Chain A
Amino acid sequence: MKNGILFLLASLALLSCKKDVIVPPEPLPPLNYIDTTGFLEIHVDNVVNGAPLSLGTTTYVSSFTDTFSVDILKYYISNVQLVSANGYTYTEADSYYLVNEANPNSLHLMIKKVPPGQYTSIRFLIGVDSAKNVSGAQDGALDPINNMFWDWNTGYIMAKMEGHSPQSTQPTKKIVYHIGGFADKFKGIRYVSLNFPNTANTAKTHTPILNLEADLYKWFLNPNFSDFNTSSVITGISYESSGMADNYANMFSVTSVIN
């Protein structure tokens, strides 16, 4: 009897050590599941009034006949959606891209897990949606080390352009535009919807290329922008920054789709 109790105690002691952590198995796709999704590749081409953009000393002429050069051009493209001929809309998950003219790799966007289809238009957000602005520390394109996140006033810089212009009122003749805001009436995020000249036919084994042009000339147009003298620097969230967002919302076009 006594031995029986001891045996029980011993068993209990041993049992109490057992980790009661149950690790659920990874959910497996059904046996007959075949991944048929593929990619769509976007080539971003930043230009100024049709001329290829080159950073540094190359000068361009604005619609106000101001001369300017470009040192930095960075903007977010996020929440990419593709609309197919039959009305189906594919929404890419975790869809955040930072286009940075200084980084050639960033000019190629690979849209992932696209179901096979014939797509006729694209929809995306310039900037970062409000949820990701307030959800804590992010990584990848949204990592603050990319210098596109304000440290003193939470939120992403949706689009950033810096350069020089003789018309600038700044002592160094700099022109600086950091456009942000995700919730305010003056927010800097904008939806863009563009039709394709011909369908993009995606398949598991076929990745079409979408040539997306962004024309900086249109970023600095009347009536939402004055000139480099009146507005040498726009940073923050204001009537002026919001006008600039209205402008860059119109700078994109799909120049061709190559199947």
Chain B
Amino acid sequence: MKKIFFYIVICLGFISCSVDPEIKPEILEDEIKEIIPEGWPTPKYNFSNNPLTKEKFTLGRYLFYDPIMSANNTISCGSCHQQFVAFANAGHDVSHGINGLLGNRNAPAIQNVNWLPTFMHDGGILNLEVMPLAPITNPVEMNESMANVVNKIAVSAKYKQLFTEAYGDDAVSSQRIFKALATFMGTMYSNNSKYDLVKNGKESFTSQEQSGYNLFVQKCASCHKEPLFSDFDFKNNGLSVIVAYGDSGRAHITSNPSDRHKYKTPSLRNIELTGPYMHDGRFTTLDQCLNHYSSGIVSSPTLDPQLIGGISLSSQDKSNLIAFLKTLTDPKFLTESRFSEIK
């Protein structure tokens, strides 16, 4: 009898742990921890002023997919940043804003954004938290004022609950919106590609992938620096200028003529899926990208010196490189349910 009593006590002890009300089944605590994979540099954004919580993550997740962010409630962040292509915009050279308006740049992937020292192709934005302000207010994107976004969200019963869960009360402010979005986007880690598994000794490259990787290290990695596959610097990579876009690139920010037509080196993680490629989405295939570097470089005063004369690549080299680039695809990241739209 006594024994049975003790067993019951033990069982009760365990049960009381399993029904901890703080853990909801859909998002487990350990899934939204900050991650710094081995060998990666120190992140630029580290949540020190925005402590990670699953409630803030959930709020950010709702906001990311809510067209309430746009002037006519038709476009959300997720409209142009789709998870199945690493939060780039599948099939769009430039994205469609409200009323079908077109911009002049390609929507970049959202992944490992904590390591970015600057945002946008021209690097004009300097902190993850204020990045969403640009697409929200851009007349050819969401064309909404932040004041209106705050007002619309403040009258929503759904958000009253989500803000209370995230912040303890239902006061809506731009700061709270931005910090929730930074929580959602800042935990979009892509570090589970085959490349990562090879680096961790858990898998190995095929001989073609290995040849491609060797070529990559020799001919591409000075700008597309491992492990994030970018040096985050601004370069003119020899694309012909599409005058109609009127886009001076980095010079738009610095007003420095020597920065004309320079754009930030993009990461190559998930590159198999993040096309169309280049800052204006002019290439649809990786073949076109490699052909550009081998035989399409247009000379100009600000062309990156490493690209003068192009990069010599045989057709076998290109196939090998593409085989390697496909090892940067991260199926876990592309399908993780916590990043999907909540229906």
Question: Is there contact, CB below 8 Å, between B130 and A136?
Answer: yes
In the complex, A31 has a CB within 8 A of chain B: no
**B107-139 to A contact mask, C-beta < 8 Å, 1/0:** 000000000000010001111111001101110
Query: Does B3 lie within 8 Å of A3, measured CB to CB?
Result: yes
Question: B103 to nearest A CB, angstroms?
Answer: 12
Q: Is the CB of B146 within 8 A of A154?
A: no
Is A72's CB within 8 Å of the partner chain B? no
Residues on A with beta carbons closer than 8 Å to the beta carbon of B127: 134-137, 154
Determine whether A153 belongs to the interface, using a CB cutoff of 8 Å to chain B. Answer: yes
For A183, give the chain B residue with the smallest CB separation. Answer: B126
Give the secondary structure class of B's interface. helix
Q: Interface range on chain B: under 10, 10 to 19, 20 to 34, or 35 or more?
A: 35 or more
Decide: A144 near B13, CB < 8 A? Known: A151-B133, A151-B138. Answer: no
| Segment among B81-89, B173-181, B198-206 that sits at the interface with chain A | B173-181
* Interchain CB contact under 8 A, B126 and A154: yes
Closest residue of A by beta carbon distance from B14: A13
Interfacial chain B residues near A17, Cβ < 8 Å: 13, 16-17, 20
Most interface-central of A10, A12, A14, A154 (chain B CB within 10 A): A154
Cβ B174 vs Cβ A137 within 8 A? yes
Q: Which residues of A contact B145 (CB under 8 A)?
A: 145, 147
Given known pairs A10-B6, A13-B10, A151-B137, the reply for A136 and B50 (CB within 8 Å) is yes
A145 touches B10 (CB 8 A): no
- CB of A197 to closest CB in B, whole Å: 40
A152 CB contact (under 8 Å) in B9, B124, B177 = B124
Chain B residues near A145: list those with CB within 8 A.
145-147, 150, 174
Closest to A138 in B: B175
In the complex where A6-B3, A154-B127 touch, is A13 in contact with B13 (Cβ < 8 A)? Answer: yes
Question: Which B residues are CB-close (under 8 A) to A237?
Answer: 255
B328 at the interface (CB under 8 A from A): no
Partner of B134, one of A12, A147, A151: A151
With the chains together, A237 CA to B124 CA distance in Å?
13
Cross-chain pairs A/B with CB under 8 angstroms, 8 sampled = A3-B6, A6-B10, A10-B10, A135-B49, A136-B182, A137-B127, A147-B145, A155-B126
